[in-house]
């Protein structure tokens, strides 16, 4: 597999343009294989700096004692049980005091390149990286792997995880060894989800796939709205009518219903202003927030090695099927995801804007899967 960065590196290599090759490398996500036992021990002791932040050449050394080996994301090899893919920074690429090491980039791939004396390359890459202007505005990015082996259903399901993949600048269409990197995948699941093994990962994934991570009381209001829309579509878009119907047909307190309906319709007005919804549309459900997170959650479990490839792929596929059972388009799925995220975090405006940015990129970029994969029937091309 490859991404745009590997293709650009190949072009520089063919043009014998070392300067541009290194500039591209300085902007790329870089990884090295590190002994899994060492990393797990550091994670357990919360001493990641010791093992990885100030990376000594011994940590990055390949099977040959004279090389430092690194990979860009699209050139990572197949999983090897004894080692894990960890992110590295250019500053770490040095041979150690008094040691001269070759730097090998993407061995065994078309972008493979060998540079003598890593001691001089690390500081150069760091200098180039630091000289790059800071990105202005949104840093979301749609990254696609070349992979002809993924079937239509799996592509659709992976695209349901597009919001977080784009915002995190991760490939959207990958079921691979890592999501971000091994350390981030492990620590992220532990800190945010209290997931530390296959059993706890399975429990949390089941909740996401069932839509039960989302507040069921909130979803009850959307269920009432959907019922109302079957005989009064205009009423489903009218706060007062929706409130009255929900007040009559759900067991919730009238004050709570009024407050939540007001919050939801205010967000929908904002989404209309931001071009997420058209004026005649309303969000039918917020279960997309669970289904949309189930995709990266499956990939995190795989990256942390809490789940097998088969388990992760099953979770991804089910998330896609469940999304199709509730929504009829990428637009409405995305609106449900954005609203669910916004309601979950309340006044944290970043949680809204950080979902709207990926929405527009995925809806409007010609190469986006949301432009090429039919939501209702992924097999249609």
> Is 60 exceeded by the pLDDT of residue 95?
no
> Is 60 exceeded by the pLDDT of residue 376?
yes
Percentage of the chain with pLDDT > 70?
Answer: 89
> Is 50 exceeded by the pLDDT of residue 365?
yes
pLDDT in tens, 309-324: 999 999 999 999 999 9
3-state secondary structure of 151: coil
Cα(74)–Cα(93) distance, integer angstroms:
19
pLDDT band at 205 (very low <50, low <70, confident <90, very high): very high
> Is 80 exceeded by the pLDDT of residue 231?
yes
Res 56: pLDDT: 43
Res 122: pLDDT: 67
Q: Mean pLDDT across the chain, nearest whole number? A: 89
> Is 80 exceeded by the pLDDT of residue 292?
yes
Cα(303)–Cα(253) distance, integer angstroms:
43
102 secondary structure, DSSP code: E
pLDDT band at 97 (very low <50, low <70, confident <90, very high): low
75 secondary structure, DSSP code: G
* Position with higher pLDDT, 346 vs 241: 241
Residue at token pair 């994934």: 205
Res 115: pLDDT: 83
Averaged pLDDT for residues 206-218: 97
> Is 50 exceeded by the pLDDT of residue 55?
no
134 secondary structure, DSSP code: P
pLDDT in tens, 234-260: 999 999 999 999 999 999 999 999 999
Task: Encode burial over 278-317: b for 16+ CB neighbours within 10 A, e otherwise.
Answer: eeeebbbbbbbbbbbbbbbbbbbbbbbbbbeeebbbebbb
Percentage of the chain with pLDDT > 90?
Answer: 72
Res 93: pLDDT: 64
3-state secondary structure of 138: coil
Highest-pLDDT range among 18-22, 62-66, 87-91? 18-22
For residue 264, what are its two tokens? 């939801």
Averaged pLDDT for residues 252-269: 97
């Amino acid at each position: 597999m490859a991404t745009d960065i590997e293709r650009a590196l190949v072009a520089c290599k063919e043009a014998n343009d070392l300067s541009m090759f290194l500039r591209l490398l300085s902007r790329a996500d870089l990884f090295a294989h590190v002994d899994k036992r060492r990393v797990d021990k550091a994670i357990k002791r919360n001493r990641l700096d010791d093992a990885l932040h100030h990376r000594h050449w011994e940590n990055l050394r390949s099977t040959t004692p004279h090389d430092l080996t690194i990979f860009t994301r699209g050139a990572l090899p197949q999983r090897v049980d004894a080692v894990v893919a960890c992110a590295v920074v250019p500053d770490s690429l040095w041979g150690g005091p008094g040691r001269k090491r070759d730097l090998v980039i993407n061995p065994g791939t078309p972008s493979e390149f060998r540079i003598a004396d890593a001691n001089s390359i690390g500081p150069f890459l760091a200098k180039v990286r630091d000289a790059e202007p800071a990105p202005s505005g949104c840093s979301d990015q749609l990254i696609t792997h070349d992979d002809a082996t993924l079937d239509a259903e799996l592509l659709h399901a992976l695209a349901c995880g597009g919001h977080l993949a784009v915002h995190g600048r991760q490939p959207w269409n990958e079921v691979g060894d890592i999501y971000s990197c091994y350390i981030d995948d492990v620590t992220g699941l532990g800190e945010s989800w209290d997931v530390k093994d296959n059993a706890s990962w399975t429990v949390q994934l089941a909740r996401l796939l069932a839509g039960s991570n989302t507040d069921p009381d909130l979803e009850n209001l959307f269920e009432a709205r959907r019922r109302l829309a079957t005989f009064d579509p205009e009423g489903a878009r009218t706060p007062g009518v929706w409130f009255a119907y929900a007040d009559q047909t759900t067991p919730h307190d009238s004050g709570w219903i009024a407050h939540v309906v007001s919050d939801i319709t205010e967000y929908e007005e904002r989404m209309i202003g931001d071009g997420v919804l058209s004026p005649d549309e309303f969000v039918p459900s917020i279960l997309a927030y669970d289904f949309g997170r189930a995709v990266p959650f499956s990939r995190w479990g795989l990256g942390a090695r809490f789940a097998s490839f088969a388990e992760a792929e099953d979770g991804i596929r089910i998330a896609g099927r469940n999304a199709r059972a509730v929504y009829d388009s990428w637009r409405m799925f995305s609106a449900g995801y954005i609203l669910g995220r916004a309601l979950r975090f309340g006044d944290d405006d970043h949680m809204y804007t950080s979902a709207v940015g990926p929405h527009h990129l995925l809806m409007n970029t010609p190469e986006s899967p949301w432009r090429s994969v039919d939501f209702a029937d992924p097999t249609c091309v």
